[in-house]
Amino acid sequence: MAEAAAGGPTPVGEYAAVMAAACDQEKNSRDRFGDGDQSLLRHDGPQDAIAQALKNVWAQGADFFALLQSNGLSECMMSCVTGRPELLAPALERARAAGGEALFHTLERRETMLRITPLHGAIMGALQIGRQHGADHIAVARLLLDAGARPDAKDIAGYTPMHRCANAMANELTLEIGMLLVERRADSNMFNRFGDPPLIEAVMGNRPDCAALLCEGGADPMLPSHFHGICPFKMNILDMALDLKEVFSHAISRQAVTGSFRLQGASVTLHNLSRHDLNGRQGVCGRLNPAKRRYAVTLPSGDDGSEQTVLIALKNIRVHRGLEGQRVVLKGLSKEQLNGRRGVCGAFQEEKGRWAVTLDGESVSIAVKQANLEVLKENFVCTHCGKEAPEMDKCGKCLKARFCSKACLQHGYGAHKEQCLLWRAALVTVDPRTCGPEGGQTITSWSDPANRTMDVGKNPLGKSKTTVVKVSTPAQPDGNLLVYNKKRDLYFMIASGKCDQHAAIFQSVSDRGIVGRKAYFNAHLSRDGLVTINYLEHLPPENW
């Protein structure tokens, strides 16, 4: 079949020519059960045409469809592509019974010019066949993974099963298979031979459902492509896809708060729901339904430790710091002798839906529901009298020292004054009415965040107060800094020519802020409307 009847090369012949140019054929032939040649193909220079040709052949499926129609696939591969778990299970059992490497060879044998594994085949079948004729590709994928199939195996172009599950062509079945891969700890940041991680494919296809799946699997929105150097988050900013931006912003924030892009197992608070009885409720985030972009959140529903599970959209979930590593006290347990005991919370046990808690004086942890745990708040120490308390006012000048009462502030400020002056050197004071860009809106109403054109003059609240502000930086160092608090009743910009410390604030956020673009600081609002920011002392990330 080297030549067609008309005298030109057949598609299969063209595919073979591309594979010969793009791959080390000898290496691939030696590695029948591995990834083979995974050398990177650049999109610039002499490799550009080869890279594009391989992409085109991959997208067309090479000889896959011809072999499928002619029954040219192995028994195992055919059962995977057609979604027949009842045929796959006996084949796997026979391989187990044969012993040696028979099972490994069954799971990892490469077929077609694309060098796909049975797991790749199951995903391709889910895309092409769906649920027709009783096909069950999810059950097939589960059988393969349970038998030990590699979740990160790469085909001839470097695409992993996760690449295939979460691209522009993804459907409900492939997204569910993707969740199986997430649960098996598949690497969601692996590059294909063109230098792209799976998240690049999701952005290019404008698929927020795929992006949510990948971020749940640990995909990093800030991970750049090997060659063009742009990351998925910045690609999304350029394209202004709001749903994708929501997915990425949430993932970046929860990584900063909890240290993980994954949301499953995180402690969360519900907000902005039409069911007002759920707003403010706290619970543990469970499994993602990627097609609906909703998480199963388990909430405590009673003093008896009972729970309820609700499906919640990403936008209605606010992540707070996980319990891992925090001091906790037990409450509401049926074993009365445990109530009131204190300890340190360990990792969240997904299979049990409970936290591992090591009690004081004990060496073995116990599994406890979140409803039976209460975080012990850190006490602040009064600068003057040394009293400890969970809530304490800050010094309005340095925004750092704590005083338990007005009396302690008055009597202790003399001793604190020298240290206060040193700490105040790290502060910047700006007038929100004049520090913004020329001709631009610089400030909102102090008391009405919906009214952003009000000329406030002096602070109408009539009193000073301390607050936490978020500073967001632009891409360019000389751009405007955006400053606002949680209620948005303080909201203004700082222009580079209007503040001597503009460059220092930008550098502080760039060096130590969340992805170098935002950070949280203590601030003080004076009676005359001036705002003082402690921009060198970064606060823990918050979710607003």
pLDDT 10s digits, 171-185: 999 999 999 999 998
Structure confidence at residue 77 (pLDDT): 97
**Topology classification of domain 327-375:** SH3 type barrels. (2.30.30)
Residues 6+ apart with CB under 8 A from 1: 10, 12, 13
Residues 6+ apart with CB under 8 A from 152: 160, 161, 162, 186, 187, 190
Q: Write out the residue limits of the CATH 1.25.40.20 domain(s) in the chain.
A: 11-187
pLDDT digits (tens, 9 = 90+) for 150-159: 999 999 999 9
pLDDT digits (tens, 9 = 90+) for 287-297: 999 888 899 99
Q: Which two tokens stand for residue 125?
A: 């079948």
- The closest alpha carbon to 407, from 385, 391, 380, 424, belongs to 385
- Confidence grade of residue 8 (pLDDT, cut at 50, 70, 90): very low
Which of the pair, 221 or 514, is modelled with greater confidence?
Answer: 221
- The closest alpha carbon to 123, from 175, 47, 76, 84, belongs to 175
How many CB atoms neighbour CB 218 within 10 A?
A: 17
Please report, rounded to a whole number, the percentage of residues in the chain having pLDDT higher than 90: 38
Which of the pair, 452 or 351, is modelled with greater confidence?
Answer: 351
Which of the pair, 149 or 6, is modelled with greater confidence?
Answer: 149
Asked whether 284 and 309 are in contact (CB, 8 A), the reply is no
Which of the pair, 361 or 389, is modelled with greater confidence?
Answer: 361
pLDDT digits (tens, 9 = 90+) for 38-70: 999 977 667 788 999 999 999 999 999 999 999
Structure confidence at residue 376 (pLDDT): 76
Structure confidence at residue 496 (pLDDT): 86
- Confidence grade of residue 4 (pLDDT, cut at 50, 70, 90): very low
What mean pLDDT comes out for the span 451-465?
Answer: 48
Residues 6+ apart with CB under 8 A from 326: 344, 345, 375, 376
Q: How far apart are CA 53 and CA 51, in angstroms?
A: 5
How many CB atoms neighbour CB 415 within 10 A?
A: 11
Q: How far apart are CA 202 and CA 117, in angstroms?
A: 22
Q: How far apart are CA 123 and CA 177, in angstroms?
A: 8
439 SS3 class: coil
Q: How far apart are CA 66 and CA 385, in angstroms?
A: 83
Structure confidence at residue 536 (pLDDT): 82
Q: Rounded to the nearest 5 degrees, what angle is found at the Cα of 503, between the Cα atoms of 502 and 505?
A: 65
pLDDT at 336 over 50: yes
Which of the pair, 323 or 472, is modelled with greater confidence?
Answer: 472
Least confident span in 200-204, 366-370, 391-395, 439-443:
439-443
pLDDT digits (tens, 9 = 90+) for 474-506: 878 888 888 888 877 788 889 888 888 888 898
Residue 95 CA, chain-centre distance (Å), reads: 38
Structure confidence at residue 538 (pLDDT): 82
pLDDT at 533 over 80: yes
Q: How far apart are CA 525 and CA 414, in angstroms?
A: 23
Q: What is the mean pLDDT of the chain?
A: 84
Least confident span in 48-57, 119-128, 138-147:
48-57
Structure confidence at residue 193 (pLDDT): 94
Residues 6+ apart with CB under 8 A from 177: 122, 123, 126, 137, 138, 141, 161, 165
What mean pLDDT comes out for the span 245-273?
Answer: 81
Structure confidence at residue 378 (pLDDT): 63
pTM over 0.85: no
Q: How far apart are CA 308 and CA 294, in angstroms?
A: 16
Strand partners, 409: none
Q: Write out the residue limits of the CATH 2.30.30 domain(s) in the chain.
A: 267-319, 327-375
Q: What is the Rg, in whole angstroms, of the alpha carbon atoms belonging to the chain?
A: 29
Superfamily of domain 11-187: Ankyrin repeat-containing domain (1.25.40.20)
- Confidence grade of residue 304 (pLDDT, cut at 50, 70, 90): low
Structure confidence at residue 535 (pLDDT): 87
Q: How far apart are CA 501 and CA 499, in angstroms?
A: 5
Which of the pair, 282 or 29, is modelled with greater confidence?
Answer: 29
Q: How far apart are CA 475 and CA 535, in angstroms?
A: 19
Asked whether 436 and 451 are in contact (CB, 8 A), the reply is no
Q: Which two tokens stand for residue 389?
A: 């308390």
The CATH number given to 267-319 is 2.30.30
Q: Alpha carbon of 423 to those of 320, 404, 430, 500, 529: distances in Å?
A: 29, 19, 17, 18, 21
Q: How far apart are CA 210 and CA 166, in angstroms?
A: 5
Q: How far apart are CA 288 and CA 297, in angstroms?
A: 9
Q: What is the distance between the terminal CA atoms of the chain, rounded to a whole angstrom?
A: 63
Sign of CA dihedral 334, 338, 344, 346: negative
